[in-house]
Amino acid sequence: MAEIKGYNMPDELYYHEEHSWARVEGTKVTVGMTDMFQKEAGDIVFIDLPEEEDEVEQGEVCGKIQSRKWIGKLVAPVSGEIVEINEDLEDDTTFINSDPYGEGWILVIEAEEEDGLASELGNLIHGDAVEDFIEREVKRAEEEREKG
Amino acid sequence: MSEYWRLFKNLSRSVTTAEGLAMDDTLPRSVAQNNSPPILHLYTFIPSVIVGKYQDIETALKLDRCRARGIEYNRRSTGGGTVIMGPEIVALGLGINVDYPGLKKGVGGVFASLSSVLLRALRKLGIPAYFQPKNDLEVSGKKIAGLSAAAEEGKSLLFHTSLLVGFDVELMTDIMNTPLVKLHDKGYNCFSQRMTTVREELNQDVSVGQVLELIREAFEEEFNIEFKEDTPDAWEDGVIRRYVEERYNRQEWIFSHKHPRARMGVGQLKTKGGLLEVYLSLSGASIENVLITGDFFSTSQDLHRIENALKWTSARKESIEENLTSVWRQDMIYGLDVLTLTKAILTAKENQVRL
């Protein structure tokens, strides 16, 4: 479990720069939103999701996430078929805030085959690069704050 | 040399909801796909009411009253709650890249940057407004403008504002279905305590055109840019037409069922400070709106601050306590504490019914 600049960013996960995360088990990829996203966005009040059996491409916007008056994007970190949606979020979307990597998981994508998945995972942020990613995001926000 | 942004300004007539919203949706797309610099759209709507993207329109509005009065209704593509629009209310749409220099980063940053532009415009009029996190502009505890936004294609975003120059309270109470209206029906004068307008603050007849001009100037100063007045190009005209036909004139969009369940509840509690009455609107598991009334002592500014801290937050007990604690000062409501107020809110939650 890695904490970077006050944000929890588990080591084993892969991250898309639009703040979705991917947990890989074989060809099944569980997807959610990062701790940094949920802290920035505030309490999530609605999530607009695709249907099970929909096909998504890596980088495609496959859902919208509303917090208060902001609507953010859920970007598919990998390509494949959506095989499961977290139905508990229908009752309480704030699981995305209270437990972003646990009960707040959003959907599961089944990749077509392992080689293709492995190549797509190479496009995501993982390992040592995660620290750079978060530091970059925090620094950008700080720079703008100083200018403002 | 200053950079140029484009300005779509429409003052010659008020536009329909489909026209105005379709043009706004085109702004971030044009920034992302059509190589356009940021575009500001300043205009007014015909008398209308617009719900947020994920609101249940059938519970938010009295649709029969809208139809009887000829008030158009529609759904926008950004978040938040219901807004009444009309010729006396400034509508603002901005399409901009999230990485634009000078625009603060993150959700909070975007709202902070763009609200500071509007505050600058209001200060030019002599109105000491301030940003009430996360999404309102207020004057002495009363809301004068609401802000909302959505992340759009690529790195672009759409930012929406409605700024009240004048406002028809009677119309609002007749067509909206909020706890505020329920209270109004019981004789509470809750609107004047919670909302204000440019004209009310200045006690004079300021024109919408004058306010639009000040907003334009404020953007130029804040971002160190100049505007070129422009109209949509052929590509943009095509996108606008498609949004009108495929989105804003379609019943499937206006009556979309993609929304959390809307419920409302009332909670009463006898306390040391007096009778406490809480009106709660719930959107799924979140608080959409809360109104605190009763025969206790407090100021409207403090009450609004407390209510605002709870809007669009989780309705879980721990979350309510945490959010109340974040704004609480001793005797904010005389004789009451966070735990008692939380209990009254949870009572309202337990009493929730479908609207």
Residue B183 confidence (pLDDT)? 64
Segment A72-83, tens digit of pLDDT: 999 999 999 999
CB of B199 closer than 8 Å to CB of B167 = no
In B, minimum Cα distance to A19 occurs at: B106
Beta strand B39-45 with B3-15 is parallel
Place of tokens 């024109």: B207
Residue B80 confidence (pLDDT)? 84
Q: What angle do CA B293, B294, B296 make, to 5 degrees?
A: 115
Average pLDDT over residues A30-59: 93
DSSP state of B195: B
User: Between A64, A69, A73, which is nearest B149 by CB?
Assistant: A69
Determine how many CB atoms are found less than 10 A away from the CB of residue A119.
Answer: 11
Q: Give the max Cα distance, chain A.
A: 48
Q: Which residues 6+ apart lie within 8 Å of B217 measured at CB?
A: B121, B124
- When pLDDT is cut at 50, 70 and 90, the band that residue A42 belongs to is confident
CA dist., res. B207 & res. B166, Å (int): 9
Residue B189 confidence (pLDDT)? 61
Place of tokens 């990485």: B99
User: Between B79, B284, B286, which is nearest A71 by CB?
Assistant: B79
How many angstroms away from the CA of A77 is the closest CA of chain B?
A: 15
Strand partners, B197: none
- When pLDDT is cut at 50, 70 and 90, the band that residue A63 belongs to is very high
B262-354: CATH topology is: Enolase-like; domain 1 (3.30.390)
Instruction: Flag if B149 and A70 touch (Cβ within 8 Å).
Output: yes
The amino acid that residue B50 corresponds to is I
**B181-206 burial: b if 16+ Cβ within 10 Å, else e:** bbbbeeeeebbeebbbbbbbbeeeeb
Alpha helices in chain B (DSSP H): 17-33, 57-60, 63-69, 106-124, 169-175, 179-185, 190-194, 198-202, 208-223, 234-243, 251-254, 300-310, 317-327, 338-350
How many angstroms away from the CA of A112 is the closest CA of chain B?
A: 26
Chain A contacts to B (CB-CB under 8 A): 40-43, 45-46, 48, 64, 66-73, 90-94, 97, 137, 140-141, 144-145, 147-148
User: Between B77, B79, B319, which is nearest A70 by CB?
Assistant: B79
Q: How far is CA B155 from CA B31, B113, B168, B240, B255, in A?
A: 9, 17, 37, 20, 29
Beta strand B48-51 with B72-75 is parallel
A3-147: CATH topology is: OB fold (Dihydrolipoamide Acetyltransferase, E2P) (2.40.50)
Q: What's domain B3-254's superfamily in CATH?
A: Bira Bifunctional Protein; Domain 2 (3.30.930.10)
Residue B98 confidence (pLDDT)? 92
Q: Is the pLDDT of residue A147 over 60?
A: no
Give ranges for CATH 3.30.930.10 in chain B.
Answer: 3-254
The two structure tokens encoding residue B41: 């759209």
Cβ neighbours of A145 in B, within 8 Å: 104, 109
**B125, exposed or middle or buried, with CB in 10 Å at 0-12, 13-18, 19+?**
middle
Strand order of the β-sheet with B286-294 is B313-314, B286-294, B274-283, B262-271, B353-354
User: Between A48, A69, A73, which is nearest B258 by CB?
Assistant: A48
Q: How far is CA B115 from CA A43, B99, B178, in A?
A: 21, 17, 26
CA dist., res. B218 & res. B137, Å (int): 15
Please give the radius of gyration of chain B, using alpha carbons only, rounded to the nearest integer: 20
Mutate which: B53, B263, B289, B312, vs A, most A CBs within 10 A: B312
Q: What residue spans define the domains of chain A?
A: 3-147
Grouped pLDDT means (10 residues each) for chain B, 355 residues? 89 95 98 97 97 92 97 94 94 95 86 95 97 87 92 92 92 82 63 86 94 97 97 98 98 92 90 89 89 86 89 92 94 90 96 81
Residue B186 confidence (pLDDT)? 63
Instruction: Flag if B105 and A141 touch (Cβ within 8 Å).
Output: yes
**ipTM, two decimals:** 0.82
DSSP state of B247: I
Instruction: Flag if B312 and A42 touch (Cβ within 8 Å).
Output: yes
Q: What angle do CA A32, B262, B328 make, to 5 degrees?
A: 75
Beta strand B142-151 with B156-164 is antiparallel
